[in-house]
Structure 1
Amino acid sequence: MNDTPGWASPGSAPSDGPDSGKPDSAEPTAAEQQSGPPSKWSKEQPPPAQWSPPSTPGPGQTPPPPPPPPAQGGGWGGQRPGGPGAPGGTGGPGGYRGWGAWQGPPPAAKPGVIPLRPLGVGEILDGAVSTMRAHWRTVLGISLTVAVLTEVVVVLLQGLVLNDTVDTDALNDPSATLGELTRAMGDTMLSSGVVLVITLLGTIVATALLTMVTSRAVLGKSVTTSEAWQDSRPQLARLFGLTLLIPLIGVAIVGVGVLPGLLIALAGASDAGASLAILGGLAATVAALWIVVRFSLASPALMLEKQGVKKSLARSVKLVRGSWWRVFGIQLLAAIIANVVASIIVIPFTFIAGALSGEGVTGFLDNAGDLGWTFLIVSGVGSVIGSMLTFPITAGVTVLLYIDQRIRREALDLELARAAGLPGHGTTAPGTPGS
């Protein structure tokens, strides 16, 4: 057994030497009794082969090894047997107790909001919240500005244009014809689509800016709103295309799954076609969800690595491979948290808006296409506050999940340590984790 300090426990045998297979002699020979010094042991000895007298080793014998040196530094600190007063005393300041007891590596460096090592679920969520707390002026300023601009456009469109052009009365009329129902559904989908596109544009801008803020927060560096805008502006058009492309891929997959059943139903076998459409739709929905999650890290890859849309999708697939359930679970948890926070804020404002408009929530539900200005403004205030708090959570979790996957697969923590200027990691020009 090797007697290197820290590996050999107290009382272990000496290291194997050239004569390790030779048994110790029970009694000294006649030549040793004549030439060697007198024995210091009494005549009454333990049974042979258990103890050997401390006589001077003869020719060909290996002397016993010296005792291990006292512990120094933080690697093998602790207290030797015998207490603080014993030789060797208390070890160094490493805090590892017990001889040879190693209690794991030292904690990872943490220059910013996360430690530079593979992260747990709680650390990713905490990192997103810590970014909002540490850089609250920039984060809340970006979120509030984008949310206000987006909601103003939505309220003006709904109040000035959509209320006059959208007719949903046929949806509540049992005697409405098929043409009236089709026209009403088309108007409703158009109104919802316009609002969705405007909201999506605001979300894209907020996500792009907050991605830059979070990437700097990982390095312990702050960034102003203007700096985040300068960094993200060249990629906004690509980010918009990427954000539209991923849902379209999912919709196309679901459409392909439903199409055979619809064709069979149109051919005359309505029952069989409907059943096939439902089964195909469920299977296609699962496939679409699998694809969308594999592409879910493309947005931070595009922003931080300055990639194109196609390469960003490929990077996301590579990073998610083998970790699909983990990525899906973390993003689902973040979405649930964001929606709960938004609901806590938006729902009370909706009730207040219904009460102030004089029709109440029941009137709002009965006349969904005809919204008064009071209702639109009050409910819009609630939407602004909700978006201001949810934008940083969703964007921060996605960026930190992307960084965590790169740390696990590509040792990005070493590059981050160099970018943060930590001692012992060299120096590099400041930049984002993807630069």
Structure 2
Amino acid sequence: MNDSPGWASPGSAPSDGRPPENSGETGPTGRAPESTPSGSKWSKEQPPAGQWSAPSGTPQRSHAQTPPRQGRNGAPQGGWGARGPGGWGGPPPAAKPGVIPLRPLGLGDILDGSVSTARAHWRTVLGVTVVVAVLVQIADILLQKFVLPAPTPITADPETNPTEALRQSLDSMQDTMISTVPSLLIGMIGTLFTTALLTIVVSRSVLGRAVSLGDAWREAKPRLPHLLGLTLLLTLGALAIMTVGMLPGWLLGSAGGAALAALGALAAAVVVVWLWIRFSLASPALMLERQSIGQALRRSSKLVQGSWWRVFGIQLVTALLTAIVSMLIVMLFSTIALVTDGSGLDGLVKGDASEFSWAFLVIGGIGAVIASCITYPISAGVSVLLYIDQRIRREALDLDLARAAGLPGYDTEQSPDQTPGN
């Protein structure tokens, strides 16, 4: 049996003040203790159940647990000190005032908490995601239809003119990046608003409290400029790292330069992923702890330190799940759009959005909105719950959350309106 922090293991030492048998010491009466039958090392008189106390001098903060129920004689029922058919009972279950138990979380707990939040507060969650996703899709469709240029087609024969083929490939890649950046910026702004509002929703749902769209907006609105600055800083930093990695290859402009650019892009991508994980908890830290951009970055780095691979694994699994769900929905609606209007196939082949018909774009946009309404809450919920989990593991935040939720048996000095970041 594993020992939990703050609890003395039953039977680990005599608790009635008498020395252990065969130790050569005398008891309180001056006589040696009597031997028990069959050479047993246990004393005839055992302490009553439920009287094991925490070891002195160890002011550790154990994780929040549901206080044991009291029987009619005042003895606890269940948990440590409870005798059952199998002997000593296990530790009491963790308190769960909201969508997650107040203890260190696993991947299943985090994903379940994200889905439970969306189900428990579906009106608020849908109100946020539908409005943002529709606006993002409208702006993206208009940009692709009327503003962004079509990619440069590759017409050179690579066998006869490799230099010209390489040049056209680089030009096509440049056009693709130019057409992708505005869409990424629009998506980033949409993600900004959904992250800000859903962070408040998830933090309230952890305490088991309802929150309306108006409440979430009033609480998140003052932090939006800081969150925008943080998002731009991380995005521009990633673009700068990728540019520096690929720049030497671009300057050479030959076959060797292309290989060098690909190698530099790979190295830069590794650095970007490492920084992305290291600062992945900066957004919830900024929103819930009301810190500045620099303080939020340092806070995230501190929380992730020593747990980089675990955070990376959870974020990677979440990204894969949301990508698969989004891809399946988008493919379904794209197929419906192609069946409805076959002219959109030409645009797909050429990679030119201006060739798409309005029917194709509208049906595809509906699929993208549905996919966003499913994936946005999960991504935001995982980020916030992962932040809370790291604080539970490092700072015993679960005890503060139990007090903030007003659970019986905990100190209520803090305000019951406290959120996980305060």
Sort the TM-score into its range (normalised by shorter chain). Answer: 0.7 to 0.9
CA contact (8 A) 1:146 1:206 kept: yes
Name the amino acid aligned to 2:278.
R
Change (3 A) 1:223 1:279: same
CA contact (8 A) 1:204 1:240 kept: yes
Q: Match of 2:237, SS? A: helix
CA contact (8 A) 1:6 1:99 kept: no
Instruction: Find the counterpart in structure 2 of residue 431 from structure 1.
Output: 418
The Cα of 1:396 is off from its aligned counterpart by: 0.2
Change (3 A) 1:232 1:62: same
The Cα of 1:70 is off from its aligned counterpart by: 4.9
The Cα of 1:183 is off from its aligned counterpart by: 7.4
For the pair 1:166 / 2:149, whether they are aligned, the reply is: yes
The Cα of 1:229 is off from its aligned counterpart by: 0.4
CA contact (8 A) 1:216 1:222 kept: yes
Name the amino acid aligned to 2:100.
I
Distance 1:97 1:321 in 2: 41
Distance 1:181 1:277 in 2: 13
Encode CA deviations 1:204-260: one digit per residue, 9 max, x unaligned: 101110000000000000100000001111111221221122132223223333444
Change (3 A) 1:341 1:8: closer
CA contact (8 A) 1:210 1:395 kept: yes
For the pair 1:338 / 2:322, whether they are aligned, the reply is: yes
Instruction: Find the counterpart in structure 2 of residue 16 from structure 1.
Output: 19
Pick one of 398, 415, 423 that aligns with 2:383.
398
Instruction: Find the counterpart in structure 2 of residue 147 from structure 1.
Output: 133
Distance 2:264 2:176 in 1: 27
Name the amino acid aligned to 1:257.
G
Instruction: Find the counterpart in structure 2 of residue 71 from structure 1.
Output: 49
The Cα of 1:144 is off from its aligned counterpart by: 1.2
Pick one of 358, 372, 386 that aligns with 1:373.
358
Distance 2:179 2:332 in 1: 24
The Cα of 1:6 is off from its aligned counterpart by: 4.5
Name the amino acid aligned to 2:421.
G
Change (3 A) 1:407 1:174: same
For the pair 1:286 / 2:288, whether they are aligned, the reply is: no
Change (3 A) 1:93 1:414: closer
CA contact (8 A) 1:211 1:395 kept: yes
Instruction: Find the counterpart in structure 2 of residue 124 from structure 1.
Output: 110
CA contact (8 A) 1:5 1:69 kept: no
Change (3 A) 1:236 1:70: closer
Bigger relative contact order (CA 8 A; separation at least 6): 2
Aligned identity (percent) is: 51
Instruction: Find the counterpart in structure 2 of residue 421 from structure 1.
Output: 406
CA contact (8 A) 1:247 1:292 kept: no
For the pair 1:364 / 2:352, whether they are aligned, the reply is: no
Instruction: Find the counterpart in structure 2 of residue 110 from structure 1.
Output: 96
For the pair 1:157 / 2:135, whether they are aligned, the reply is: no
Change (3 A) 1:353 1:118: same
Q: Match of 1:171, SS? A: coil
Q: Count how many residue pairs are aligned between Structure 1 and Structure 2.
A: 373
Name the amino acid aligned to 1:244.
L
Structure 1 unaligned blocks of 5 or more: 24-58, 76-90
Q: Match of 1:391, SS? A: helix
Distance 1:317 1:9 in 2: 43
Encode CA deviations 1:351-404: one digit per residue, 9 max, x unaligned: 111222232535532352322211111101101101001100000000000000
Name the amino acid aligned to 2:391.
R
Change (3 A) 1:257 1:198: closer
Instruction: Find the counterpart in structure 1 of residue 201 from structure 2.
Output: 213
Name the amino acid aligned to 1:7.
G
Distance 1:410 1:21 in 2: 45
Change (3 A) 1:372 1:189: farther
Q: Match of 1:336, SS? A: helix
Change (3 A) 1:252 1:180: closer
Instruction: Find the counterpart in structure 1 of residue 284 from structure 2.
Output: 300
Structure 2 length normalisation: TM-score? 0.77
Q: Which structure 2 residues correspond to residues 46-65 of structure 1 after superposition, within 5 A?
A: 61-62=31-32, 64=34
Q: Match of 1:290, SS? A: helix
CA contact (8 A) 2:125 2:377 kept: yes
Name the amino acid aligned to 2:418.
G
Distance 1:22 1:369 in 2: 91
Structure 1 length normalisation: TM-score? 0.75
Change (3 A) 1:381 1:17: closer
Distance 2:393 2:32 in 1: 49
Instruction: Find the counterpart in structure 1 of residue 230 from structure 2.
Output: 242
The Cα of 1:112 is off from its aligned counterpart by: 0.4
Change (3 A) 1:155 1:283: closer
Name the amino acid aligned to 1:318.
K
For the pair 1:193 / 2:181, whether they are aligned, the reply is: yes
Name the amino acid aligned to 1:359.
S
Change (3 A) 1:399 1:22: closer
Distance 2:236 2:262 in 1: 20
Change (3 A) 1:369 1:99: closer
Alignment RMSD: 3.6
The Cα of 1:343 is off from its aligned counterpart by: 1.4
Change (3 A) 1:190 1:17: closer
